[in-house]
Amino acid sequence: MAEKQIMVKIDHVSKEYRLGAIGGTTLREDLERFHAKIRKKEDPTLKIGQKTPEYGKRFMALKDISFEVEKGEAVGIIGHNGAGKSTLLKLLSRVTAPTKGSIGMNGRVASMLEVGTGFHPELTGRENIYMNGAILGMSRAEIGEKLDQIIAFSECGEFIDTPVKRYSSGMYVKLAFSVAAHLDSEIMIMDEVLAVGDMKFQQKCLGRMGKAANSEEKTILYVSHNMNTIRQLCNRCLVLDHGGLIFDGGVERAIDLYMDTAVKNGSVDIDLKNKRMAHLPPVIKAKMTHVHLVDKQVPVYEFEEKLKFDLSVEAKTNISNLSVRAEIRSADGGSVAAGILQEFTSFFAGRSKILEMELLLRGLVPGKYFVLLVIYNVNEMGTYDDLDAVFPAFTFEIQDSKHALKINWNVNAWGKIRLDDLKCVGERDDS
């Protein structure tokens, strides 16, 4: 029997951040804060809704985490927003160091924490491939051998000699993933990298990652809120909750536990200030700060009841055409239905509004649901830019006590939406 080879070892790792303190910000932010102070201007580094810096406060992002990953394993890492997933991957990628504990890595690491991480906007796609490869420790000759494969997989061949600052977010993720997947690294670290790509490319990426784990025996650590991709790729799963590791084992059991935790953490009043999906641009133009479910002590609704919620939004810049999208998703992360605000609203910089929202829950069968909230605007090209997105923003449950069916609804076979009852409008003999 072959001896097991440990590729990643996390030994009692904790990570503490000092909020607002030196060491918690960059030198540039410290200088910007000092310059604003002597000019008696508002602190430009404050978060939306924050009045004063949080000096002296400490936050434990990870608490005494320990686990090992063997060669060829594809391990999913799941948990609600703020559970510590991205912090863990940053520690593994050497972006930051742990406060306590030790991390051991056996091999070269290909890390992709954000869309286009490490890309220089002024360089072309081809030049960025060579630069990323060099960062990962590859020689120019090694990169050149796989260059054609990388370009072909990325589907960006027509634009490969164009500066990447002109790429769409989808092109960014295609090229960045292709580089990380094809270079000779023993460990691949991925954080929500498929959130921007189209469905066809997502399946292509999952197939490539599955091949890397199975036939090439690469080790994969993959963070996602999409439970379908976790099921498809991973053979083991970790569940994080408030910085702690609460489960390490089978994928289905992990997903069930994650969903139960998400419902438990949900409430009728939810703070969204520190929740933001990873694929969004770093510059915050507007932020959802709070959501309140109206007229509900417990988020349970009847069949075809209206879901009413107040959404608080604060703008950093002037915005003339902001709108809202609410997507209802099932327990596995798949989209079930969506509602889009038809009217646009405007904001002045530094001002906030409470948007009183209503969504008719028509046709949803009994069960638990998770809501993705997105605020977006229309740019000068006529396309949509997501300004902020949170998933899950809140959870709710449908019960059907008033219109109970005479038969039990088969969710797996018939889906999550129940159309208006099928009716027989007449009968006749077939002769």
**What is the spatial distance between Cα 49 and Cα 352, in angstroms, rounded to a whole number?**
9
CA torsion, ordered 363, 365, 368, 374, to nearest 10 deg: -20
CATH 2.70.50.60 fits 269-405, yes or no: yes
**What is the spatial distance between Cα 207 and Cα 203, in angstroms, rounded to a whole number?**
6
User: For residue range 371-421, what is the model confidence (pLDDT) as tens digits?
Assistant: 889 998 877 676 778 889 988 888 888 876 555 555 566 666 677 777 666
Q: Is 252 left (phi over 0), alpha (psi -120 to 50) or beta?
A: alpha
Q: What percent of the chain has pLDDT over 90?
A: 11
Residue 31: pLDDT band (50, 70, 90) is confident
pLDDT: is 400 or 207 the higher one?
Answer: 207
Residue ranges of domains in the chain: 1-20+56-107+187-193+204-265, 114-185, 269-405
Reference 34, options 23, 49, 45; nearest CA is 45
Which of 221-230, 236-245, 374-383 has the least mean pLDDT? 374-383
Reference 300, options 392, 391, 401; nearest CA is 401
Does the pTM exceed 0.85? Answer: no
* In the block, residue with structure tokens 């990298």: 193
**What is the spatial distance between Cα 401 and Cα 139, in angstroms, rounded to a whole number?**
66
Q: Per CATH, which fold does 1-20+56-107+187-193+204-265 belong to?
A: Rossmann fold (3.40.50)
Structure tokens at 417: 């939406």
What's the mean pLDDT in 260-277?
70
Residue 1: pLDDT band (50, 70, 90) is very low
